[in-house]
């Protein structure tokens, strides 16, 4: 894309280039050149082109000022740039020359927040507070004041784990739809008994779908364990590493239960021709896992009641799965965490579960694509090799790649799936149970038959637009034709005007 836009890099892209940082490029690349201001978007990346009058001083401080003024801030780029010795000197000089300047104080705050080091500067004097991140460009958290800098910390995360979420038109549109209220209204119109039985099925559906995403079948004890975990999601505490281990032990086969966070290198890949492994994603080094999990947990604590619930769920769930702290069960815990955050934040109606995995499993290609928005950009910056034992070894420091990343596509993806599961899965399951009850009552009025057989007859009719197919007629040979006709007529009248999905074969309301 850059070849199509003439000019010189400025801002965060310039910091990567000039300091040779091993990081993916920022989501928004800024360039200065001859000509008018314009925006070019291609392949999911945006280039903002500015006239030459915008050219900043070609120093770390100069490009940082430009970034703070015009760009969504990638804290990973700043964290790496602040590791250079000249960074502290330049920021100190900048603040001394502009002690009340908003951009200087923001840079000062971010340096100390990210590095944990205090610059040789006195506390800010009597000046108004300024936000660390520009709310027009970022999804932000509830602010907390830093009196030293007179900066309000509105960052989504902790110093060691803080993904970026840009304020896109798509996210803003989702937020305005108030999906939580939409779900509450759906539930409010249901009879308590109907709702309780529908919820039971929603738990089963989510369990099956979550396993199906990994091309596994949830049966027997595996399914029971996962349903039990989902039912306790709201009370789960992700900030305790032992809780994560206990959860992993509950939802995986006992033979693969972890005793601790992983102490070995793992990766995600597939076997191709000649039994070769094709590597899609390399997980953090084992020596980095414990600190990453601790900083991820600090982020989850920071996000409590502090930002949009779906954004919080996306950062929590995807942040966890990218760390991949276990050998098995990471994907299921990832999806469990979506429910945990949505329930904790009061986004999900009480005692209800959104089968988000059902929406995901309908388009696994899209799911893979959104995961690749993280894995694709970081893979070129990971140096690794196969050992003689056909294991992977990572040769460079990579922890920073997992601590700071652009989570905007992940938040947009999850919002779309939450919307789909409310408007399709939740709505249709509630409607189906109500229709099933009415159809079952109609059958009971026409003929007194064993409950199990009546239930089967209703299910078969609902699967076939209210009619019993000829192929299934012999299963009910004891019932007269006129009785079948009466049952079909009653069920057709009940389902008129409803969108009733065929129930799964093992569905028992």
Tens-place pLDDT, residues 119-163: 999 999 999 999 999 999 999 999 999 999 999 999 999 999 999
| Lowest-confidence segment of 92-96, 237-241, 345-349, 483-487 by average pLDDT | 237-241
Query: Same domain, yes or no, for 53 and 129?
Result: no
85 dihedral zone (left: phi>0; alpha: psi -120 to 50; beta): alpha
The pLDDT of residue 508 is 47
Query: Same domain, yes or no, for 323 and 393?
Result: yes
Identify whether 319 is part of a domain. Answer: yes
Counting residues of the chain whose pLDDT is more than 90, the rounded percentage is 71
Name residues whose C-beta falls within 8 Å of residue 400's C-beta, 6 or more positions apart in sequence.
23, 76, 79, 80
Residue 503: pLDDT band (50, 70, 90) is very low
**pLDDT at 271 exceeding the cut of 80:** no
Length of the chain: 509
User: What CATH number should be reported for the domain holding residue 191?
Assistant: 1.10.3290.10
The pLDDT of residue 1 is 45
Q: What is d(CA 184, CA 181) in angstroms, rounded to the nearest whole number?
A: 5
Identify whether 314 is part of a domain. Answer: yes
Q: For 141, which DSSP code? A: P
Q: Higher pLDDT residue, 509 or 15? A: 15
Query: What three-state secondary structure class fits 41?
Result: strand
Structure tokens at 358: 């059902």
Q: How many whole angstroms from its chain centre is CA 69?
A: 28
Name residues whose C-beta falls within 8 Å of residue 126's C-beta, 6 or more positions apart in sequence.
none
Query: What three-state secondary structure class fits 372?
Result: helix
**pLDDT at 3 exceeding the cut of 60:** no
List active site positions: 324
328 known member of a binding site = yes
**pLDDT at 290 exceeding the cut of 60:** yes
Using the 3D structure, point to which of 406, 421, 436 is the last residue of a domain: 421
Query: Same domain, yes or no, for 48 and 111?
Result: no
Identify whether 432 is part of a domain. Answer: no
**pLDDT at 460 exceeding the cut of 70:** yes
444 known member of a binding site = no
331 known member of a binding site = yes
Identify whether 331 is part of a domain. Answer: yes
Query: Same domain, yes or no, for 119 and 71?
Result: no
**pLDDT at 103 exceeding the cut of 50:** yes
Query: Same domain, yes or no, for 287 and 319?
Result: yes
334 known member of a binding site = yes
Based on the structure, what is the number of domains in the chain?
4
Identify whether 504 is part of a domain. Answer: no
The pLDDT of residue 230 is 86
Strand partners, 8: 32
Query: Same domain, yes or no, for 268 and 130?
Result: no
What is the pLDDT averaged over residues 257-276? Answer: 81
Query: Same domain, yes or no, for 53 and 15?
Result: yes
Query: Same domain, yes or no, for 125 and 1?
Result: no
The pLDDT of residue 509 is 47
Identify whether 438 is part of a domain. Answer: no
Query: Same domain, yes or no, for 183 and 317?
Result: yes
Q: How many whole angstroms from its chain centre is CA 237?
A: 18
Using the 3D structure, point to which of 81, 108, 124 is the last residue of a domain: 81
482 known member of a binding site = no
- The structure tokens 């360039």 sit at 31
Q: What is d(CA 206, CA 481) in angstroms, rounded to the nearest whole number?
A: 39
The pLDDT of residue 499 is 62
Structure tokens at 4: 């199509």
For the chain, report the end-to-end CA distance as a whole number of angstroms: 54
Using the 3D structure, point to which of 421, 437, 472 is the last residue of a domain: 421
Asked if 293 contacts 261 with a C-beta cutoff of 8 angstroms, the reply is yes
Q: How far is CA 451 from CA 228, 443, 473, in A?
A: 28, 10, 18
Query: What three-state secondary structure class fits 153?
Result: strand
329 known member of a binding site = yes
274 known member of a binding site = no
Pairing of strands 130-131, 151-153: parallel
Identify whether 437 is part of a domain. Answer: no
**pLDDT at 505 exceeding the cut of 60:** no
What is the pLDDT averaged over residues 303-327? Answer: 97
| Lowest-confidence segment of 101-115, 183-197, 241-255, 310-324 by average pLDDT | 183-197
- Residue 474 belongs to what domain range? 447-495
Query: Same domain, yes or no, for 76 and 102?
Result: no
Identify whether 310 is part of a domain. Answer: yes
Strand partners, 406: 164
Query: Same domain, yes or no, for 388 and 473?
Result: no
Query: Same domain, yes or no, for 370 and 404?
Result: yes
């Amino acid at each position: 894309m850059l070849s199509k836009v003439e000019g010189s890099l400025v801002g965060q892209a310039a910091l990567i280039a000039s300091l040779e940082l091993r990081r993916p490029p920022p989501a928004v690349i800024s360039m200065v050149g001859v000509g008018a201001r314009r925006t070019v978007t291609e392949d999911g990346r945006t280039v903002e082109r500015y006239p030459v009058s915008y050219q900043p001083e070609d120093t770390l401080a100069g490009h940082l000022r430009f970034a703070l003024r015009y760009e969504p801030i990638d804290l990973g780029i700043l964290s790496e740039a602040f590791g250079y010795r000249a960074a502290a000197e330049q920021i100190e000089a900048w603040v001394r020359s502009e002690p009340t300047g908003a951009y200087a104080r923001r840079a000062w705050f971010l340096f100390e927040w990210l590095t944990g080091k205090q610059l040789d500067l006195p506390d800010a004097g009597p000046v108004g507070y300024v936000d660390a991140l520009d709310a027009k460009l970022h999804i932000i958290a509830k602010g907390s004041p830093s009196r030293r800098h007179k900066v309000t910390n509105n960052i989504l995360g902790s110093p060691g784990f803080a993904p970026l979420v840009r304020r896109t038109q798509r996210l803003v549109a989702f937020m305005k739809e108030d999906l939580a209220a939409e779900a509450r209204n759906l539930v409010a119109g249901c009879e308590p008994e109907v709702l309780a039985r529908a919820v039971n099925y929603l738990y089963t559906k989510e369990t099956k779908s979550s396993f199906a995403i990994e091309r596994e079948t949830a049966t027997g004890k595996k399914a029971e364990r996962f349903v039990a975990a989902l039912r306790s999601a709201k009370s789960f505490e992700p900030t305790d590493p032992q809780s994560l281990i206990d959860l992993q032990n509950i939802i995986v086969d006992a033979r693969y239960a972890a005793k601790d966070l992983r102490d070995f290198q793992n990766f995600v890949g597939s076997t191709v021709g000649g039994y070769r492994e094709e590597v899609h994603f390399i997980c953090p080094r084992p020596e980095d896992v414990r600190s990453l999990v601790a900083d991820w947990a600090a982020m989850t604590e920071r996000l409590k009641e502090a930002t949009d619930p779906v954004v919080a769920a996306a950062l929590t769930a995807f942040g966890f799965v990218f760390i991949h702290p276990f050998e098995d069960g990471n994907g299921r815990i990832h999806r469990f965490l979506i429910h945990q955050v949505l329930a904790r934040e009061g986004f999900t109606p009480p005692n209800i579960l959104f089968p988000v995995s059902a929406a995901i499993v309908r388009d696994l290609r899209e799911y893979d694509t959104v995961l690749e928005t993280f894995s694709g950009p970081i893979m070129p910056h990971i140096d690794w090799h196969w050992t003689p034992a056909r294991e992977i070894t990572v040769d460079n420091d990579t922890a920073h790649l997992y601590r700071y990343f652009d989570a905007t596509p992940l938040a947009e993806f999850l919002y779309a799936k939450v919307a789909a599961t409310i408007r399709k899965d939740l709505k249709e399951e509630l409607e189906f149970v109500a229709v099933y009850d009415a159809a079952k009552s109609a059958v009971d009025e026409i003929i007194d038959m064993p409950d199990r057989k009546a239930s089967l007859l209703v299910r078969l009719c609902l699967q076939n637009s209210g009619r019993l197919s000829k192929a299934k007629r012999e299963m009910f040979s004891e019932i007269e034709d006129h009785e079948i006709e009466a049952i079909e007529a009653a069920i057709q009248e009940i389902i008129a005007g409803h969108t009733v999905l065929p129930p799964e074969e093992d569905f028992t309301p």
